[in-house]
Amino acid sequence: MAEKDNLRDNREKDSTGKRCPADKSMTDHAAKTGAAKEQTEGSMENLLTRLKHQYHSLSKGQKRLADFISEHYDQAVTMTAAKLGAQVNVSESTTVRFAMQLGYAGFPEFHRALEELVMNKLNSIQRMQMTYGRVPQGEILGTVLQSDIDKIKMTMEEVCAESFGQAVNTILGARTIYIVGIRSCAPLASFLAFYLHMIFDDVRLVQTSSASEIFEQMIRIGCEDVMIGISFPRYSVRTQKALEFASKRQAKVITITDSVHSPINTWSSCSLIAKSDMASIVDSLVAPLSLINALVVALCMRRQENVVETLETMEEIWDEYQVYSNDEMTTAKEKGDIKLS
């Protein structure tokens, strides 16, 4: 019994040896993420499983839909209900009833399940083939820009204001802020860290050259800290391991990802959803960056005096050391090194 009590005491302390208060929100979240993890593990095959189990009860037209989706889900994901129906010679209403027959609230929910299936099934080469196979060369610019606009609109519709507020409060109350983003998400992590440095005293961008170095940089993380993890398909295993490590150390975990079914949400106490373009070799991170912008602005508004003081100091430093090109050109002109006509 004494040994068990000692183990319990150790778990209740962070890496600095300080006892952490019980956090009901984290306890509640642990119960939620247990169910979320089960849902995530089954989400990839859930749609195909439904098709298989309910195939015998479908009408002839619905069976043609099921056959086409099972064999060509990479094509079906780009189609509307009307186009998908036309592909197999059934009406749009039949396609909608088909989605509801599978247990979805309607075609939009069915289509989201199809997107998640494709995101986890396709590799980079297949994504490139999908993108360049259906977009004419002369329409690429307009198509990509419109796609980015659509992703921001979808993010506006799906992001949870309550979760956003919770993320802001969690960051404001943290002792140390850790940020991790790997591969294509590294610029997002770097951008967020750059601006959080202007607001907070202790912000640490976790460098990710190797798995061991990640843990070494996080060795002092504890229950008074927050870890912000950023990951989009295809999800980084190193990011997941970093978030798992932070969660086991009882740190708060905030995730920025594309879906409630994202594997990194297994360890999150707060998740912010931003849509990314999964059907391309180039990850579209416009909506995630916009969400991060909103997060930085919200934090600045809550820490206005600190931010103003920091910016005033930085402006003095920039002027003194001629950080920006305008200062350099002005100084050169004053010295007579260059002439502006």
For the ranges 66-75, 85-94, 190-199, 240-249, the lowest mean pLDDT is seen at 66-75
Q: Is 107 exposed, middle or buried (0-12, 13-18, 19+ CB in 10 A)?
A: buried
Q: At what angle do helices 304-321 and 286-302 cross, to 10 degrees?
A: 110
Report which listed range, 21-30, 42-51, 265-274, is most confident.
265-274
Res 341 pLDDT > 80: no
Output phi, psi for 279, to 5 deg: -95, 55
Asked if the peptide bond before residue 234 counts as cis, ω within 30 degrees of 0, the response is yes
Res 277 pLDDT > 70: no
Average pLDDT for the chain = 80
Higher pLDDT, 274 or 6: 274
Amino acid found at 123: N
Grade residue 326 by pLDDT with cuts at 50, 70 and 90.
low
For the ranges 41-55, 182-196, 310-324, the lowest mean pLDDT is seen at 41-55
Report which listed range, 35-44, 114-123, 271-280, 322-331, is most confident.
271-280
Res 15 pLDDT > 80: no
Tell me how far the alpha carbon of residue 259 is from its chain's centroid.
7
Res 29 pLDDT > 80: no
Residues 236/244, Cβ–Cβ less than 8 Å: no
Res 11 pLDDT > 50: no
Higher pLDDT, 42 or 217: 217
Higher pLDDT, 1 or 198: 198
pLDDT of residue 41: 42
For 68-88, the pLDDT digits (tens) are: 888 888 788 878 899 999 999
The H or E element that residue 164 is part of is: helix 161-172
pTM score, whole prediction: 0.66
For the ranges 15-19, 161-165, 293-297, the lowest mean pLDDT is seen at 15-19
Res 272 pLDDT > 50: yes
Q: Which residues contact 188 (CB under 8 A, 6 or more apart)?
A: 181, 230, 256, 285, 288, 289, 292
pLDDT of residue 242: 94
Res 34 pLDDT > 90: no
Res 26 pLDDT > 50: no
Domains and CATH numbers, the chain: 36-121 (1.10.10.10), 157-302 (3.40.50.10490), 309-335 (no CATH)
Residues 201/224, Cβ–Cβ less than 8 Å: no
Grade residue 30 by pLDDT with cuts at 50, 70 and 90.
very low
pLDDT of residue 298: 96
